[in-house]
Every structure is written in structure tokens, then in C-alpha cells.
Amino acid sequence: MWNKLLNDKECEFVTNTTCVFCGSSDLKQFDIKFVEKHWKPFPEAVNLRCQACMGQFNQKFPNTHLISRLYKEHYPAQNSGLTRFKIHFKVEEFYIPVLEVGPGDNGISNICKNGYYAAEISRTASKFPVLFEDFTIEMIDEAKTLGIEAIVSCDCIEHMVRPRMLFDNAYAILPPDGLLYIHFGELHDPKNPQKARQIPHINNPSWKSVEMMCERKFNIIDRGSGSPHQSGWIFKRL
């Protein structure tokens, strides 16, 4: 697949020179095992580890155009979103307006009883048919008029080129005390960082990366205490 895509001039990769989580330029190459799942590894899939937050990510990321195309054309639909959300967050129904980030074809709309909006490039009926990290000021202003009180991101942040934007845009959209639910497809404890990375996951934050991304924006109210692998975290907007 890569050979075909790489012949396309629009399929460029961007080299990361600073940490995608905390912005530090103190980066070191770090050996990690890549597990082929869904896709073969990106070309030159060198892994970097930030020495400030210990988060890990690929040295080269697909540009925005390429990543949109990959998710639209090549990422298999996963049917487990709602089940997974219920298991990780113990939420059966929402009675507040919810914005879901990157739900694919299957999200949590069935349990949202008082307003549901999706930010999803591959879904034609999406309220916001763009990547969440690419929201414009106008989209943020529009989202603010919808009364959204919770933002849900299940298995999305590990695919984001700019994962910090999940926190920045959620902060911009939510009111004070608004809730942010993030299920991390991969999240590692800095004490045990050596683990396999699934392709096409392009980033893998540490606990400290998450703490730094939500600094002055969100309080962490649950670090996945009841969630398998502690990967479903809940945040409250300051």
C-alpha cells in the first residue's frame, strides 16, 4: 500500500523535531517493537522518546492530507466503540449534549439522550467533517453554541498528529466543569515504557505527557481506576 501511496505527491511525511505532547526538543531514539495490525509500518518508522515527559511517538508523521486519506480509505471500521466506552467509563446514558471525536461509523450516539454531535472525517452526516485537531476558530465558536457539556474521545488520540490539540480544543469548547472522556489506545507508565506499538498508532503518551497536556486546562478526576489497563481517563475543565 505504501508504494502506491508514496507515488502520490500529496503523500508527504513531516519530521517531528519537538515533542508532540509537551513541546520539548530533548528527544532520543528509542527501540520499540512495532506490531503489524491493519497496516504495515510507515516508512522509516523510527520511534522517539521525549526525555522531558517520556512520551513516545514516530519520528515521521503523515501530513494532514495523507492522514485524512488513510482514515477515510484504509482504516477498517470497528464496531466495538460503544461497548468499549461503557466498559471503560461505566456510563450507560448521557443526558447532557455530547461531542464525540473520531467515532468512525460507530460511536456512542445511541446512549446520548440530549444532543449528540460528531467530529468525524469519514462520516458524511458528521456535524464537523474534519479532524478534531484541524478545527477552525469558526468551528469552535459553532460548537460553543451547541451547549456541549462533555467531549468523548475513544481510541482516537493515538492517531492524532497533534495530540495536544485534543486538550486545547476541548478546553476551548467546553464550559467550566465540562467533562472530557479519553480512552487511550496506548498509554504507558514511564516505569515500564518498553512495549509494542500497534501500527497505525503514531503516538503513545506517558502518564506525565497527559499531565502536561492538561496543565492549566483540566483536572484529572479519574486515571482509569475502573477501566481495563487503566486506559479510560476522565478530566474536568477548569
Residues that bind Zn ion (CB under 5 A): 19, 21-22, 24, 50, 52-53, 55
Cβ proximity to Zn ion: between 61 and 94 the closer is 61
Nearest to 190, CA basis, from 204, 174, 178: 204
Cβ proximity to Zn ion: between 55 and 200 the closer is 55
Q: Which three cell numbers stand for residue 67?
A: 492522514
Angle at 193 (CA atoms; ends 75, 197), nearest 5 degrees:
20
Q: What is the distance between the alpha carbons of residues 132 and 135, in angstroms, rounded to a whole number?
A: 5
Cβ proximity to Zn ion: between 53 and 148 the closer is 53
CB 182 → Zn ion: shortest distance, Å?
A: 17
Under 8 Å CB-to-CB from 181, ≥6 apart: which residues?
A: 85, 89, 91, 150, 151, 152, 153, 154, 232, 233, 234, 235
CB 144 → Zn ion: shortest distance, Å?
A: 29
**In terms of DSSP bridges, do strands 34-35 and 197-198 run parallel, antiparallel, or are they unpaired?**
parallel
Residue 23: left if φ>0, alpha if ψ -120 to 50, beta else—which one? left
CB 233 → Zn ion: shortest distance, Å?
A: 18
SS3 81: helix
Q: What is the distance between the alpha carbons of residues 33 and 79, in angstroms, rounded to a whole number?
A: 27
CB 211 → Zn ion: shortest distance, Å?
A: 11
Nearest to 157, CA basis, from 137, 133, 173: 133
CB 221 → Zn ion: shortest distance, Å?
A: 23
Cβ proximity to Zn ion: between 24 and 68 the closer is 24
Angle at 38 (CA atoms; ends 163, 47), nearest 5 degrees:
50
Cβ proximity to Zn ion: between 22 and 99 the closer is 22
Cβ proximity to Zn ion: between 24 and 78 the closer is 24
CB 44 → Zn ion: shortest distance, Å?
A: 21
